[in-house]
Homo-oligomer: A and B are copies of this chain.
Amino acid sequence: MVLGKVRPGLSDKKRIMETSASIIDRIEDLARVRGISLHAMLVGSAARGTWLSGDHDLDIFLGVPPNDDLGAALEIARLVAPVHEEKYAEHAYVHARMDGFEVDLVPCYLVEDAAHLKSAVDRTPFHTKYVGSRIIGREDEVLLLKQFMKGANVYGSELKVGGFSGYLTELLVLCYGSFAAVLQAASAWRPGQRLDLERHGIEKHDEPLIVVDPVDPGRNVAAALTLDKMLLFAGAARSFLAEPKLDFFFPPSQPPLSDEEIIARINERGTMPILLEFAAPDVVEDVLYPQLRKAEGSINALLERSGFSLLRSDVSTYRDRAVMLFEMQVWQLSKACPRIGPPAWEAEHLARFLAAHPAPFSGPYIANGKVVVEEARQYTSARDLLAEESANLSLGKHLSASIRDGYNIYAGQELLGIKDEGFRIFLAHYFRAKFPIG
């Protein structure tokens, strides 16, 4: 039932094989003509037969001997895909749409073993080799696991998600044997869970899940997995095993909230949602999301430090905009505010403190041994604080620039002013925040 939806059809498989073979042929022809030593190969889930139906990504690596330069390989990639976009991770690579596929053409070094890389991408061919021969006959288990993880919102090792990579799901199936066995085992996971298929791990890792890379004993394949996503998966596994339902694989989509629904949610919750909205900096998500999360943390700290209290916060992007949402439990404070000074017997500190607070509402008085004055608070409203101080915060490089260029604040029902459907779906997810945790 699930497999019927996630297993690529025969014609899909045929098409992916033909397309990748034809691209590899063209690459190797060009290399031969130019006298370049180069070995092109299909890597990733397409190479291992573990791609989900509807996933049209092809990863083709252009391997050169470790002492050669990657430049010649990159030049060939450019020629093979005349219409392309050049991207950059540790080195440059080519992204193009070819024959209906999203193709990455990635130059790499053909190193001897995965523990001695010249570049991070050099490891990938070893992964394909390791998994490829062992996964045969268990491809469906991987497909089920990937789709289950998608349903639980824990699939993908990109920083926006912080979930499980495709390679990691394959290793889990190899480790435990089947989709059901992975769920059974994950049900009992705790932070610090360690898996080592080749029993060759040596280093300690601090991450919540440690899966020693079979091709590189020093590396944790699950390094990008966050604690909460790991536990979300474990909780979903328990929940599914207790009551298996198709919804786990294909959860109903959240429709965007209507104006009436937004008003109803805000009234029911009796909170004050405050939204900071600005132009999303033109950088990839793996750069943007860590900056958004860091900024969210800085603003949370500023709000709490200023006496306000947060219920929850989240960040998102839609079209070319970025938003940070802060939902407040306390958004309004008294004008008077205590300033706690030094212990009353520290005469010199005290003199400086009193000089710095010459005209308080009340005080100085002594409470619990310390001198206290009560004076006017700078911000009595969380909205004012955000409106005035957001541009002064030291945030990530791209984000700081973007916020300094201008931002909008929407508080409470002012959220209705944003009609974008992507934003309204984000809000729907935010308010619901319900996960199948058992």
Residues of A at under 8 Å CB distance from B? Answer: 187-191, 227-228, 231-232, 234-235, 238, 268-272, 307, 309, 311-312, 327-330, 332-338, 344-345, 347, 350-351, 354, 361-369, 371, 374, 380, 431-435, 437-438
Q: Is the CB of B345 within 8 A of A311?
A: no
Q: Is the CB of A434 within 8 A of B227?
A: no
Q: Is the CB of A365 within 8 A of B333?
A: no
Contacts A/B (CB < 8 Å), 23 sampled: A189-B345, A191-B369, A227-B368, A227-B369, A228-B366, A228-B367, A231-B344, A231-B366, A232-B344, A268-B335, A270-B334, A270-B335, A271-B335, A307-B329, A312-B362, A329-B337, A332-B332, A350-B437, A362-B431, A362-B433, A364-B435, A365-B433, A374-B433
Cα A238 to Cα B361 with chains together (Å): 23
Residue numbers in B under 8 Å from A380 (CB-CB): 270
- Contact status of A363 and B434, CB under 8 A, knowing A228-B368, A333-B330, A338-B312: yes
Cα A364 to Cα B336 with chains together (Å): 37
- Contact status of A371 and B437, CB under 8 A, knowing A307-B329, A345-B190, A366-B235: yes
Q: A231-B366, A309-B330 are in contact. List 14 more A-B contacts (CB 8 A).
A: A231-B369, A234-B345, A269-B334, A269-B374, A311-B336, A329-B333, A329-B336, A347-B438, A350-B438, A362-B432, A364-B435, A365-B433, A365-B434, A365-B437
> Nearest-CB distance from A408 to chain B (Å)?
23
Beta-carbon nearest neighbor of A437 in chain B: B364
Cα A228 to Cα B344 with chains together (Å): 9
Cα A328 to Cα B336 with chains together (Å): 10
Q: Name the residue in A188, A361, A380, A434 with the highest tally of chain B Cβ atoms < 10 Å from its Cβ.
A: A361
Question: What 10 pairs between A and B have smallest CB-CB spacing?
Answer: A270-B335, A231-B344, A271-B334, A269-B336, A362-B433, A329-B334, A190-B345, A228-B366, A365-B433, A270-B334
Please tell me how many copies of the chain the complex holds. 2
Cα A347 to Cα B350 with chains together (Å): 53
Cα A351 to Cα B265 with chains together (Å): 27
Q: Is the CB of A366 within 8 A of B437?
A: yes
Cα A309 to Cα B335 with chains together (Å): 13
Cα A318 to Cα B190 with chains together (Å): 60
Residue numbers in B under 8 Å from A431 (CB-CB): 361-362
Q: Which residue of the partner chain, among B234, B364, B369, B374, contacts A311 with CB atoms under 8 Å?
A: B374
Q: Which residue of the partner chain, among B235, B350, B364, B437, contacts A434 with CB atoms under 8 Å?
A: B364
Residue numbers in B under 8 Å from A374 (CB-CB): 269, 311-312, 433
- Contact status of A345 and B231, CB under 8 A, knowing A334-B272, A338-B312, A431-B362: yes
> Nearest-CB distance from A267 to chain B (Å)?
9
Cα A309 to Cα B210 with chains together (Å): 43
> Nearest-CB distance from A58 to chain B (Å)?
35
Q: Name the residue in A188, A344, A354 with the highest tally of chain B Cβ atoms < 10 Å from its Cβ.
A: A344
- Contact status of A234 and B344, CB under 8 A, knowing A363-B434, A374-B312: yes
Q: Is the CB of B434 within 8 A of A362?
A: yes
Residue numbers in B under 8 Å from A228 (CB-CB): 366-369
Q: Is the CB of A271 within 8 A of B336?
A: yes
Beta-carbon nearest neighbor of A235 in chain B: B344
Cα A191 to Cα B343 with chains together (Å): 10
Residue numbers in B under 8 Å from A351 (CB-CB): 438
Cα A329 to Cα B189 with chains together (Å): 44
Cα A191 to Cα B329 with chains together (Å): 39
Q: Is the CB of A335 within 8 A of B269?
A: yes
- Contact status of A270 and B336, CB under 8 A, knowing A227-B369, A307-B309: yes
Q: Is the CB of A345 within 8 A of B191?
A: yes
> Nearest-CB distance from A343 to chain B (Å)?
8
